[in-house]
Amino acid sequence: MELIYFFRIIFKRKWIILAAGLAGIVAAFLLTMNKKPLFKSQAQMSTGFTISEEIKLSDDIFNIPQIDVKFNNVIENINSPKVLNLLSYKLLLHDFGNESAFIVPDKSKWEKNELLKGVNTDSVRKILNEKYSSMQMLRSGIKAEKQLQELLKEYGYDLDNMRKFLHVSRFQRTDYINILYHSVNPELSAFVVNNLITEFHRYYEAFRRERSLESMVAMDSLVVKRKAELDEKIRAKSQYLDDSVVSTMDPNLVGANKLSQISMYESSLAEEISRVQNLSYQMEQIDLQLKSLGEAPAPVTNNADNQEYFRLRKEYNDLYDKYIKQGATDQEMKLRLDDLQRRLKLSAPTGGITTDNSGYNNSQRNSLMQTKIDLEGRLRSANSKITFYRGKLAEAGSFISAASPDKSGRLVQLDKEIEVAMLEYTSAKERLTLASSINETGVSNFKQTLYGQPALKAEPSKRLIIMALAGFSGIVISALVFIFLAYIDQSIKTPQQFQRLTGLPLIGTINIVNLKATRIKEQVTQVEENSDNNRHNTFRELLRKLRYEIESSGKRVILFTSTEPQQGKTTLIQALAFSLSLSKKKVLLLDTNFCNNDLTVYNDAKPTLEKYSAEGHDVKAAEITDLITNTGVENVDIIGCQGGDYTPTEILPKDHLLNHLQTFLQQYDFILMEGAPLNGFTDTKELSQYADGILAIFSATAEIKPADKDSIKYFKTVKSKFLGAVLNKVENSDINL
């Protein structure tokens, strides 16, 4: 029912709502009339976040929430002021003073701007190049840079304008990021999307190098600390051996040289173990990078050069192993190793950048293969050293254990401490290598997979759609405004709303009528004979329904009252009396509303109510004739009152007329009394003892206030007399709601 009520509200104001929609269409037409066509260009970039191309220290390789965060970070960086300002500098350098500029601003406007007067081309280019190279932002506190900011606004390359036409987003749930830009120049759109990726790469690499340097500084200090702890453990063991072995062994068998060798072997062993770990991680990274390049293309290098290089590499590795096993003291072998290393560098396979049919970069692959071969040689060398040092330590350990068996327990403990310190040192060096590998061997995963091209035709203006949406929005918004006003309107309006707010029984509903053209007497009593429209008078039909309820109630003396003034009591009581007269009923109207005797005034009645006193005898027929005034309608009479600032108990004589209403009922079928409003006066409560029934009149245009709720409570306390309420002045469209 509420929906129907709101629908009727909208329908009632349909022309205003349609006018609002039309205004929206006109506004959209005017705003889009001079809109320039826009050209779109699109570029695409692969991030590599969903493909693992770097070393992982855990099994968590494909973490979807973490990848989503990475994508959001990349998109935020692309839209960041740092990257967009770099692009703005590049655009202004291209356009400023260039005949083939993308944008040609109206220089006549510059004369009105004090900051743009006396712009020097060389100075502008110099500052822009400095800011672009150093990746710094313009500062508004410096006049020359403030001038550049104004210049960017004139060209439309300022931050706000760039963001207005730029759209960066992840393409669905893929590894790609789409970059779209709209502008009035197709060449400009293509330039922006392509160079935005370039500037993002530049910014990202600088940011990554900065973070790498910070990590390397932190890791380097940690490595130094772990190395110092390892050296301390080794010195503690050496000191223990020095103190214990010398005291238990022959000095001719044990000397300082033997103990220092043990310390040196342990320190060197720790270094080589750390080196092996680092080399292993570097080789894993090289393998992943080679895997990311795909299958190897057909070889394009010289086979003879490759064979010579591999032969020299094998000879170098074998000689290096032999050199290490002999204690790394043979100078002749050292010279031969240096010579082989020089020849390896000269015979290393080289070549220009060539790309096969599958798009593979041979130069990058050859460089990675060469690095891998070099790492393999260094790894074999480090493993050989580890074997050598462990053998020497085993010999020295067995020698010491044999010489001092009772001290072996302490030595085992010291060895364990050295092993733990060695693991911590190795782990620290490994993390340092990972941090440094970002700059040295790391390959950026960001690759541009789609290059923006100038659009051949402009994007659809969608002007009709915009106008349709503007018109629809105007209609919807205006309708919502009327619905909102109706919602906050606390007036009763409909019968359903009345019963929800008051909880009182409703025995009648009367529509609002225009009494300026006709009097109430004509509205009720004037009937056109032989007319088909004589049953289409809504006001009259609703009165007939109320009349039926009154006649069916069995009450003959009825008091009409209301909670507030101006509810329509006077009009309604007359209309009901006239309607009862049509059904051949005699009605007497009593104007007991002393604070507002409109009923007496309208009917020009004699004010006899306050004056008459029966003086202990019954009212006689002759006296009734002197008291009443005929209303001009057959069977309807009235007894008027003088009116004043008093209540019935204050003004009426001791044996007043109200005590003899039963005498009047012998002559009249109904006696209708009008009482003062309940909220401000006590008249109704004083008169209720003389009435058989009480009828409350409420106006549909009124609101239920706290004072009204108190009066409503009174109606509920007199259930035996309270006939119900009548909702007056209801709009015709709200009658059935």
Q: What is the DSSP string of 426-470?
A: HHHHHHHHHHHHHHHT-----EEEE-----SSPPP--HHHHHHHH
The answer to whether residue 159 is domain-embedded is no
Longest dimension (CA), the chain: 164
Same domain assignment for residues 484 and 614: no
- For the chain, helix, strand, coil in percent to 5 are 60, 10, 30
Same domain assignment for residues 534 and 444: no
The answer to whether residue 53 is domain-embedded is no
Where the chain has pLDDT below 70, the residues are 1-2, 51-63, 109-111, 118, 210-220, 240-263, 292-307, 309, 321, 324-329, 344-365, 393, 395-412, 428, 430-444, 516-518, 526-535, 737
211: Cα within 13 Å, side-chain hemisphere: 9
Same domain assignment for residues 427 and 468: no
**Strands (DSSP E) along 571-633, which ranges?**
587-591, 629-630
The structural domain count of the chain equals: 3
The answer to whether residue 330 is domain-embedded is yes
What are the backbone angles phi and psi of residue 387, rounded to the nearest 5°?
Answer: -60, -45
The answer to whether residue 693 is domain-embedded is yes
Same domain assignment for residues 408 and 265: yes
pLDDT at 60 (0 to 100): 47
The answer to whether residue 206 is domain-embedded is no
Same domain assignment for residues 666 and 525: yes
Same domain assignment for residues 523 and 655: yes
The answer to whether residue 255 is domain-embedded is yes
pLDDT at 532 (0 to 100): 52
Same domain assignment for residues 483 and 548: no
Same domain assignment for residues 508 and 485: no
357-388 exposure pattern, b = at least 16 Cβ within 10 A, e = fewer? eeebebeebbebeebbbebebbbbbbbbbbeb
The answer to whether residue 10 is domain-embedded is yes
Distance CA 63, CA 72 (A): 14
Distance CA 289, CA 314 (A): 25
pLDDT at 327 (0 to 100): 63
Supply the range of the domain harboring residue 625: 492-734
What's the gap between Cα 505 and its chain centre?
A: 49
pLDDT at 594 (0 to 100): 92
The answer to whether residue 89 is domain-embedded is no
Residue 145 three-state SS? helix
* pLDDT tens-place string over residues 42-91: 998 888 777 654 444 444 455 677 778 888 888 888 888 889 888 998 88
Same domain assignment for residues 477 and 542: no
Distance CA 698, CA 492 (A): 9
pLDDT at 357 (0 to 100): 34
* pLDDT tens-place string over residues 114-139: 777 767 778 888 888 888 888 888 88
Of 434, 469, 489, which residue constitutes the final position of a domain?
489
CB count in 10 Å sphere of residue 473: 15
Same domain assignment for residues 550 and 675: yes
Q: In what order do the strands lie in the sheet with 506-511?
A: 506-511, 722-730, 693-699, 557-562, 670-674, 587-591, 636-639, 629-630
Distance CA 529, CA 248 (A): 147
Beta bridge partners of 672: 558, 589
Amino acid at residue number 94 = H
Same domain assignment for residues 500 and 569: yes
Distance CA 207, CA 214 (A): 11
Same domain assignment for residues 286 and 431: yes
Instruction: Return the H-helix or E-strand segment holding 722.
Output: strand 722-730
Specify the CATH number for the domain of residue 594. 3.40.50.300
